[in-house]
A and B are shown apart, each in its own frame.
Chain A
Amino acid sequence: MFKRYLLRRLLHAVLLLAGVSVLSFVLLELAPGDFLGEARINPQLSASTIAALQEQYGLNQSLPHKYLSWLGSVTKGSFGVSFSYNLPVSTLLWPRARKTLQLTLASLFLSWLIALPLGVLSAGRRGGWLDRGTSLVTSLLLGLPDLVLACLVLFLAVRTGWFRTGHPILPITVLVLAALPLLVRHVRSALLDVAQQPHVRAARAHGIHGMQLWFQWLLPAAANPLASLFGLSIAGLISSSLLVETILGWPGLGPLFLEAIAARDFYLVIGPVMLSAVFLVAGVLIGDLLLYLVDPRIRTGI
C-alpha cells in the first residue's frame, strides 16, 4: 500500500520536474542574449572564431536538440558543461549545494524547535500575554521581506562586531526569522482547531489534562496540517536562501547562480534552477509522505 502511494507521488514529482525543466529551457531560449554576447562586439575576435566557439558550445543547435542532449547529460550525472569554467556543471554544483543544504537543514531544525513550543504555548493560553506578544511579533515579522531582514542582521553584525560576516550564524538567524512567523501561526491555529474537536472535549471531560492531553490527544490530531506545513517550510527556506546567502556571504548555490547569470553561462544557470526545483518538489513530497505516515485517514483513502 505504502509502496504504491510512494510510487505514485514519485512519478508525479518526476513529471513535475520534467515540466519545470522544459519551461525553463523555453523561457531562457526566448530571451535574446547568449554567452558570446560580449565576444561578438569584441573587435579582436573574427567572425570565424565566434562561429567556432558557437559550434564548440553548441549554441547554434535547435532548442529540442539542446534539451535532449542536456537530458542525456543529466542521466550521466553531469548537468551539461559550464562555458566559463569549462567543467561539468555538477562538479561546480555539488559542493555549493551541500553548503546550501547545511544552511537550510540547520534553519529548518531550529525554526521548528522554536515554533512548536511557541505555538503550543500561545494556543494553550489563548489571549494571554505570551499569545498577544507572539502574535504582534509574528505579524510584524511576516511583513518583513528576507532582503530587509538580511540587511538588518548584516547591519547589526557589522555595528556590534560580534560575528564576522560569513559566519553561519548570520544566514541561519535570517532564515529562522523569515520562516518563524508562518510556522508559529499555523501551529497555533492547528492546535486551536483541534482543541474544539469532540474527541478532545470528551478526553477533557474524562479528566485527562496537562502533558498527557497534549501529547496523546492534541498533537497527533494536529499532525495533519503540520506535516504539510513541514514540506512547505522546506520549500520556503530553499527559495529565501538564494538572497540571504548572497547578502551575508555564504558560499552556497546563491552566489554561484548569480555569477553564472552575470556570465550568461546557460547550463550553469539551469543547474541551480533545477536543483532548487528538486528541493522544492522534494520538500512537498516529504510533507506528503509524512502526512501518509501520521494520518490513517489518508491511508484508507486510496
Chain B
Amino acid sequence: MKSLPLLQKLAIAVLICLHLAVLGARFLAPYDPTEQNRASTLTAPSRIFPLGTDEFGRDQLSRMLWGGQISLATGWIATLLALGIGLTLGVAAGFWGGWSDALLMRGAELFLALPWLYLLLAVRAFLPLSLSPWAMALMIAAIIGTVGWARPARLIRGVVLSAKEREFVYAARGFGASPWRLITKHCLPETYGVLLTQAALLLPQFILAEVTLSFLGFGVAEPAVSWGNLLQPLRQISIIGGYWWMTLPVLLVVAVAWGFSALEDALASSNRANSG
C-alpha cells in the first residue's frame, strides 16, 4: 500500500471523507433536508445556502449529506448480503463438490445471464408503494443482494477449490480435523482477498443501483432524501440547462465510483503482491 499513485490516494481519501460526512450529516448539515423555503427557490449558492436550493427551496448541501445515508446504506447492506450468500454457496460448492457444485454453477450462470437492472426495476414495480423510506431501502438492498450473489460465489468457489488441495489442508485432514475446522481455519482465510476486492467492486455498483432506481422514480419516495432523488430534477431540461448547482449531486456519484475503483485497484495490486 506504500507506493499508491497520488490520484489513487486522493480518490480513496475523498471516498472516506464522503462516508464520514454522510455519517455525520446530523452535525454537518446546516438545515433540515425536507424544510422548504418557498421564498427562495432555485437560488444560486450563497452564504445562506452554501450549495444553493432546489425547486422547493430546500438546501442542496443538507440534502446531499442526508441523502447519502440511504444511498450508501443500501449499497453496503446489499453488498454484505450478496457476499454472504456468495460466500456460503461458494464455499459449500467448492468444498463438497459433486451435485451441489453442479447446481451452483448452473444457477450462477442463470443469474449472470439475467439483465439485472431490468429485473431489479421489474421486481420493485410490484412492491407496495406505501413503505417507510428505511423499509423501502432495506427491501431494495435485499433484492439487489439476492440478485447479485453469482459472481462472488463463482470466484470464491474457485479459491476454495484450489485451497482444499493444498498440502497443509491435506495434513490437517490427515490429523482428523473436522470439515467445519477445515473450512473456517484453512479455506476461509484464503478467500479474504477475493472478498475484499469483490466488495470494492460491488459496492459502487449497488450504491449506483439504488441511485438509478430512485432517479427513475422507483426507489425511495419523496420526501425522503436519497442521491437518486436529488438527481431526479435533472430529467427536466429547464433545470439541467438553467441551474448548474442542481447538477452538483452528480459529483457525489462520480466520487463514489472513482473512489471505489481506486480502492479496488489498490486491493488487487496488494493481492498480487501477497500471492506473487
Binding site for B on A (CB under 8 A): 16-17, 19-20, 23-24, 27-28, 30-34, 139-140, 142-145, 147-148, 151-152, 154-155, 158-159, 165, 238-239, 242-243, 246-247, 257-258, 261-262, 264, 269-270, 272-273, 276-277, 280-281
Inter-chain contact A32/B118, CB cutoff 8 Å: no
Pairs A–B under 8 Å by Cβ, sample size 26: A16-B110, A16-B113, A19-B113, A28-B122, A30-B123, A32-B127, A32-B128, A33-B125, A34-B126, A143-B254, A144-B254, A147-B208, A148-B254, A148-B257, A151-B234, A151-B250, A154-B237, A155-B234, A158-B237, A159-B241, A239-B116, A257-B118, A269-B125, A273-B119, A276-B115, A277-B114
* Contact yes or no, A151 B240, CB < 8 A: yes
Query: Across the interface, do B121 and A148 meet the contact criterion of CB distance under 8 Å?
Result: no
Contact B113 A280 (CB under 8 A): yes
Q: Are B253 and A276 in contact (CB under 8 A)?
A: no
Closest 10 CB pairs of A and B: A31-B126, A158-B241, A261-B125, A276-B115, A143-B261, A143-B257, A143-B258, A33-B126, A19-B110, A273-B118
User: Does B212 have its Cβ within 8 Å of any Cβ on chain A?
Assistant: yes
B-side interface residues, number (CB < 8 Å): 41
A24-B122 CB under 8 A given contacts A143-B261, A243-B212: yes
Chain B contacts of A147 at CB under 8 A? 208, 211-212, 215, 231, 253
Q: How distant is the Cα of A262 from the Cα of B125 in the complex, in angstroms?
A: 7
Q: Which of B127, B215, B247, B261 contacts A31 (CB 8 A)?
A: B127
State the majority secondary structure of interface residues on B. Answer: helix
Please give, as numbers and ranges, the residues of chain A lying within 8 Å of B124 by CB-CB distance.
Answer: 31, 261
| Residues of chain B in range 94-134 having any CB-CB distance to chain A below 8 Å | 106, 109-111, 113-119, 121-128
CA distance A262 to B240 in the complex (A): 24
0/1 interface trace, chain B 145-173, chain A, CB 8 Å (1 if under): 00000000000000000000000000000
**With A24-B119, A147-B211, A147-B253: A32-B126 Cβ-Cβ less than 8 Å:** yes
Is B115 a contact of A280 with CB atoms below 8 Å?
Answer: yes
Instruction: Encode B207-250 as 1/0 by CB contact (under 8 A) with A.
Output: 01001100111100000000000010011010011000001001
- Contact call A273/B115, Cβ cutoff below 8 A: yes
B212: chain A residues within 8 A (beta carbon): 147, 243
Total number of A-B contacts with CB less than 8 angstroms? 120
Complex contact B240–A155 (CB within 8 A): yes
Chain B positions within 8 Å of A20 at CB level: 110, 113-114
CA distance A16 to B115 in the complex (A): 12
**Least CB separation from B254: chain A residue:** A148
Contacts of B241 in A (CB 8 A): 155, 158-159
Chain A residues with CB below 8 A from B126, complex form = 28, 31-34, 264
In Å, the complex CA distance between A152 and B218 comes to 22
A154 touches B234 (CB 8 A): yes
A155 to B247, CA, bound (A): 9
Complex Cα distance A159/B217, Å?
A: 25
Give Cα distance in the complex from A200 to B217, angstroms.
54
CB pair A258–B216 under 8 Å, yes or no, is yes
Partner of A23, one of B114, B215, B216, B250: B114
Known: A242-B118, A273-B118. A31 touches B258 (CB 8 A): no
With CB as the reference atom, state the residue of chain A lying closest to B261: A143
**What CA separation (Å) do A262 and B208 show in the bound complex?**
21
Give the residue name and chain of the B residue nearest to A22 (CB).
Answer: B110
Query: Which chain B residues lie closer than 8 Å to A24 at the CB level?
Result: 114, 119, 122
Given contacts A144-B254, A243-B216, A272-B118, 15 further A-B contacts (CB under 8 A): A16-B110, A19-B113, A27-B119, A30-B123, A31-B127, A32-B126, A34-B126, A148-B250, A151-B231, A154-B237, A158-B241, A258-B216, A261-B124, A270-B122, A273-B118
Q: Is the CB of B247 within 8 A of A151?
A: yes
Contact (Cβ within 8 A) B261 A33: no
Please name all residues of chain B whose beta carbon is closer than 8 Å to the beta carbon of A143 when the two chains form the complex.
204, 254, 257-258, 260-261
State which of B109, B121, B247, B253 has its C-beta within 8 Å of the C-beta of A261.
B121
Contact of B121 among A23, A151, A258 (CB under 8 A): A258
Cβ 8 A contact of B237, one of A23, A139, A165, A258: A165
* Nearest chain A CB to B4 CB, angstrom units: 14
A247 contacts across to B, CB distance below 8 A: 235
Q: How far is the CA of A247 from the CA of B241 in the complex (A)?
A: 14
User: Whole-angstrom distance between the alpha carbons of A152 and B247 in the complex?
Assistant: 9
Cα distance, A269 to B204, chains bound together (Å): 26
Give complex CA distance A154, B238 in Å.
11
Q: In the complex, which residue of chain B has the Cβ closest to the Cβ of A246?
A: B216
Nearest chain-B residue to A35 (Cβ)? B126
- Cα of A33 to Cα of B234 in the assembled complex, Å: 29
- Identify the closest chain A residue to B139 (Cβ): A31
**A31-B123 in contact given A239-B115, A242-B117, A277-B115 (Cβ < 8 Å):** yes
What is the CB-to-nearest-CB distance from A97 to chain B, in angstroms, rounded to a whole number?
13
Per the bound structure, the CA–CA distance linking A152 and B253 in Å amounts to 12
On chain B, the residues within 8 Å of A243 by CB distance are 117, 212, 216
